[in-house]
Structure 1
């Protein structure tokens, strides 16, 4: 898999509150652009999603995929593709949360490969659009 694309935003809330929103995957269609539907298939011992099926509609990527989640308390989460779709062939992503003087710095990293041939620059631009939309949506949702 190719390099990851990442972006960071500062949210004026603590890690637990932000992690709660991130862990509510079924709520993503309300605030995360490009996410149409999420079904939690399996939860971890702490009740957070461990495996999900997600339908995405983000520019050239329209697909239904299966993801596996690995939570690191309120410090972050990583996910990987475990069920390929018709378009998405590989996907890895993560949120990392670091507290910063009354706020939290949230970094989102993403790497996606698809059956649609794309040159690296176009692919990274698409990943950046997905990341920036998600971070801005997360910030709006958490700070409201």
Structure 2
């Protein structure tokens, strides 16, 4: 059974700027602390990353998983499903980007299931930590990479 977590954060930049950072997979290790290596393994005909392999720190060890991305609702949403994983049976999720006067409300939804048994409350807590940490790190990365959104631009 998979565990789910959803959280939102306000980022002081337009949705296109936030989406650009989220879709720039090779640079994730420079701002996402738990990601040690990210490799684009397959691209769509338009050059966007379709399958991306991640090596991350998880549960006191290193884990590797590959995600397949769907850009059909870009730049409002980016979704993914797990293609393969060593300790994960499922890592599916989505980012939603909603324009607001302050910039962008980013909502991150994640569903995770492991290949080994672990008490549900521990998996739920881990999923919630992954989501909240990812959102904070994304906000920090976007806000240091782009000037704040100005009201006359919104």
**Shift in CA distance, 19/46, structure 1 to aligned 2, threshold 3 Å:** farther
Deviation at 1:61, TM superposition (A): 6.0
- How far, CA to CA, are the matches of 1:61 and 1:70 in structure 2? 29
Moved over 6 A (4+): none
Distance 1:123 1:3, change over 3 A: closer
CA distance in 2, matches of 1:38, 1:21: 14
SS of residue matched to 1:4: strand
| Larger Rg, first or second structure (1 or 2) | 2
1:142 CA drift (Å): 0.4
Q: Confirm or deny that 1:83 pairs with 2:84.
A: yes
Bigger shift: residues 45-54 or 126-135 = 45-54
Contact 1:61/1:88 (8 A) holds in 2? no
Match of 2:32 in 1: 32
In structure 1, C-alpha distance between the alignment counterparts of 2:106 and 2:37, rounded to whole Å: 23
Q: Residues of 1 paired with 2:3 and 2:123: CA distance?
A: 10
Structure 1: runs of 5 or more not aligned: none
**Residues 3, 120 of structure 2: 8 Å contact kept:** no
Encode CA deviations 1:17-40: one digit per residue, 9 max, x unaligned. 001000001111111121111110
Normalising by structure 2, report the TM-score: 0.86
Q: Is the partner of 1:125 in helix, strand or coil?
A: helix
Aligned positions of 1:1-144 closer than 5 A: 1-60=1-60, 62-71=62-71, 72-85=73-86, 87-144=87-144
What runs of 5+ residues in structure 2 fail to find an aligned partner? 145-154
| Number of equivalenced pairs | 143
**Root-mean-square deviation (Å):** 1.5
How far off its partner does 1:43 sit? 1.7
Cα deviation digits, residues 68-117 of structure 1 (max 9, x gap): 000121101111111121x1111101101101114100011111111231
Checking the alignment, whether the CA contact within 8 Å between 2:3 and 2:127 is kept in structure 1 is no
Answer whether contact 1:97 1:106 (CA < 8 A) is retained: yes
The alignment partner of 1:16 has SS state of: helix
